[in-house]
A = this chain, B = another copy of it.
Amino acid sequence: MTNPTAAMLVIGDEILSGRTRDANMHYLAGELTKIGIDLCEVRVVSDDAEAIVAAVQALSGAYDTVFTSGGIGPTHDDITADNIARAFDRPIGVRADARAVLQAHYDRTGLELNEARLRMARIPEGATLIDNPISAAPGFTLENVHVMAGVPAIFQAMVASVLPTLRGGAPLLSQTLQINRGEGDIAKPLSDLAARYPDLSLGSYPFQRDGAYGANIVIRGNDGARVDAAIAELSSLFPA
């Protein structure tokens, strides 16, 4: 049985202008790998309505699950929720359940649930809410798309809420061997090894340290015994 597939859509001008370095992609990639969901593609688009709609439709159709980050706050540049609704042709408006979550939070903190904050209760019809234990304003799931905040601490909390609801697969196991020789010297035996283990993925990640070349060879697969066997063969080919 093949693993479920996933894609991520990062939404935000600040990533594309180089102002902010995205942290959510790397986090999500690691979490999905642990539970056997294959992250197959990531796209980063700006806070632009057409770009968001096109990317959501493409990714939602191509993969089992889509995760988005960014653009669900109270300010005018937060247009993600409206465009997820557009992508699925759903009405969107302030929803009672989301409003209640926000009202309780602002009652507790003594702040006013003003018009701007109320924007965060705009949820497409048919979506289910994703809990936000940090700042209350919920994310939501519509069809196979999980819409989450861009602030890393909130993104991570929302991922923690969503992952247990998904079907996982066989976790991807990996072992790494560092070989202190140039990639050009190890490429041929490595390629032969890869051909003998078509069920595994062998990646070579070169580095240069103190003027010397080396590579980390990462062997990945769902069957631990096969990964063990391949790494043992690799070690015998290139003794330390």
Contact = CB atoms under 8 A, between A and B. Distances in A.
A164 interface: no
A42 B43 contact: yes
Contact of A17 (B19, B27, B39, B43): B39
Contacts of A183: 73-75, 116
Contact of A51 (B30, B41, B112, B203): B41
A4 interface: no
Copies of this chain, count = 2
Interface residues of A, number: 71
B187 A116 contact: yes
Given A74-B187, A116-B188, A184-B111, A16 B43 contact: no
8 contacts: A16-B42, A18-B26, A41-B45, A75-B183, A111-B182, A116-B183, A151-B206, A151-B207
Interface of A: 10, 13-22, 25-33, 38-47, 51, 73-78, 111-112, 114-117, 119, 134-135, 151, 153, 172, 174, 182-188, 190-191, 194, 201-208, 215, 218, 220
Given A18-B32, A22-B25, 10 more contacts: A10-B42, A13-B201, A16-B39, A19-B174, A19-B205, A73-B183, A73-B206, A77-B204, A115-B188, A153-B208
